[in-house]
Amino acid sequence: MLGKKAPDFSLESSNGLSVSLDQLRGSFVVLIFYPANDTPTCDRQLAEANLNLQEFLQSNARVFGVNTASTAKQKEYCQRKRLEFPILSDPGGRVARQFKAHTWWLPLNRRTVVVVNPQGNICFYKRGFPTAEEILSAIKNAAAQSDSG
């Protein structure tokens, strides 16, 4: 997936807005695909992104969680966990499948972080729980390459 054009998508967010990759062109887009709300690792991963949100924004990056729960559940979760970035609802995991971030044996996302650069190409792709520092470093490196090229 790394270096490839990111598949476009349009999903409803926890704040009630439709979000498409195309409308975010010009910014880095951080997609945190995760299995489920209210699980220890997922909660920790989203909390870390939330703690570093200002740094992401200063790096011209928009952050989104992505999982298969309904928008109503996403909204309640974001409010309860005080997340300052939206979660996109991907019922059935259609978008997760496009990004190869869906499990084939369960109807859940596979923990994967994808960063799409301002031109629409995937510049970071990692399974698991990369740290915010690792993701921000990849964004800064991609921005520097873009500026020099």
Over the chain (149 residues), what is each successive 10-residue block's mean pLDDT? 91 95 96 94 96 97 96 95 96 93 83 96 96 96 79
**CA 69 to each of CA 7, 36, 60, 73, 88: distance values in angstroms, whole numbers, following the listed order:** 21, 8, 27, 6, 9
- The predicted model scores a pTM of 0.94
- What's the rounded Cα separation, in Å, for the pair 55 and 42? 20
- When the candidates are 3.40.50.300, 3.40.30.10, 3.30.70.360, 3.30.230.10, the CATH number that belongs to 10-148 is 3.40.30.10
Predicted local confidence at residue 3, as pLDDT: 84
Helix, strand, or coil (residue 28): strand
Catalytic residue among 30, 42, 88, 101: 42
Domain locations in the chain as residue ranges: 10-148
CA–CA dist 94, 97 (Å, integer) = 5
Say whether 42 is catalytic: yes
